[in-house]
Structure 1
């Protein structure tokens, strides 16, 4: 069980930088963030890239599904700060050797990319990360596939509703914890709560000793945590 609540940057640091951008990830790492949460899809040529949506429309100057483009074709599109869509390799290179926890979400609840779990797990093993990656997904099937490939990793189910019989589910599906949009009082379960930007809510979760708070504004959350400790 986690003792100190870790603060995770939701899609990096979208309060200051484009979401899921290398600039946001780099700033957060440089400023001592506990962890980074981010989303992974596959391109047409099976390269893992980091973006929340299945389409590039909302966060770049392009249009269409990520998996309708090769990585090279994707590089012609840019985020609002001119940065191209980062690959998982890019972020792993930034994080290697740094004391930062990575929460990698398999974004497979709408499109279950063939072999994404194998491709991602194989890639992550090539990097010297300080902490084991925390893998999460709304798609339980994705976590089951990943567990069959490598049962030694941490797999956490994402959910935006109350999970009934949570302990039984965790045991049955070999889960390391739950990533929820709300707090459920579950003893001895690692809960990471998303996306918590209100300081009052953050204080409550810190008092509940959740494993992690996932937030768009990690610097604010860190200040709240410091003030709570000082009291």
Structure 2
């Protein structure tokens, strides 16, 4: 029997906390989150930071590209709850050896940060995590570089598009799965769907037994899944 659909907190718990904030991640971990999805960029001095956008304009009290700031400069910038933008190191320390499934998205579809893959893998190598990390990106060459550095990890391509012959695509690109905007009925391989925040679509996906969904409200989605399945 296939296991139940895994529910990932999309950027933590944006329903109640600033997205990609330590406060949101901390709450999610304390309240039984099954998976956490988060986004990684590099600062000017090559420190991995957790934020969705390439710019800090939308979610902080300052402006500009992450890649133009040093870590010390970014420490003067604040999220809407007053916290600093978290580093990947801080996030991994928070997660520790909890049973949560991590999904690290390389945010390289707009900016290809030099050496981001090597830097992230080196940091993860120093950690003792409970489960292997799922690595995803909209930028397929990023995943190809990752495979050269660490061929045995879990890689999934993110896309808004319908993927023709998706099962063959997985084989051709040595992927573990696809992270899709919409469910594909012609796919027998692993697919996870983003970003699911409404009850009706969620129930349908649970019945279709997708491997996972990404949601801004993991509490509600876990309740819906457990009540209906």
TM-score (norm 2): 0.98
Give the match for residue 123 of structure 2: 123
Give the match for residue 4 of structure 1: 4
- Cα distance in 2 for partners of 1:188, 1:26 equals 34
Residue 59 to residue 222, structure 1, CA distance change in 2 (3 Å): same
The alignment yields a C-alpha RMSD, in angstroms, of 1.1
Q: CA deviation at 1:3?
A: 2.2
Give the SS at the match of 2:197: coil
Give the match for residue 168 of structure 1: 168
Map Cα deviations across residues 105-158 of structure 1 (whole Å, 9 max, x no partner).
000000000010111111111111111000000000000000000001000000
Runs of 5+ consecutive residues of structure 2 not aligned to the other structure: none
5 Å-filtered alignment, 1:11-26, equals 11-26=11-26
- Cα distance in 1 for partners of 2:96, 2:8 equals 17
Q: CA deviation at 1:161?
A: 1.1
- Cα distance in 1 for partners of 2:55, 2:153 equals 29
- Cα distance in 1 for partners of 2:125, 2:211 equals 24
Count of residues paired in the alignment? 229
Map Cα deviations across residues 147-178 of structure 1 (whole Å, 9 max, x no partner).
00000100000001101121121111110000
Map Cα deviations across residues 172-203 of structure 1 (whole Å, 9 max, x no partner).
11100000011002453111100000011110
Runs of 5+ consecutive residues of structure 1 not aligned to the other structure: none
Contact kept, 8 Å, 2:166 with 2:187, in 1: the verdict is no
Give the match for residue 223 of structure 1: 223
- Cα distance in 1 for partners of 2:222, 2:125 equals 30
Give the SS at the match of 2:127: coil
User: Is it true that 1:109 corresponds to 2:117 in the alignment?
Assistant: no
Give the match for residue 157 of structure 1: 157
Give the SS at the match of 1:179: strand
- Cα distance in 2 for partners of 1:74, 1:144 equals 30
- Cα distance in 1 for partners of 2:191, 2:168 equals 15
5 Å-filtered alignment, 1:170-209, equals 170-209=170-209
Contact kept, 8 Å, 1:2 with 1:190, in 2: the verdict is no
5 Å-filtered alignment, 1:4-153, equals 4-153=4-153
TM-score (norm 1): 0.97
Give the SS at the match of 2:195: coil
Contact kept, 8 Å, 1:2 with 1:211, in 2: the verdict is no
Q: CA deviation at 1:99?
A: 0.6
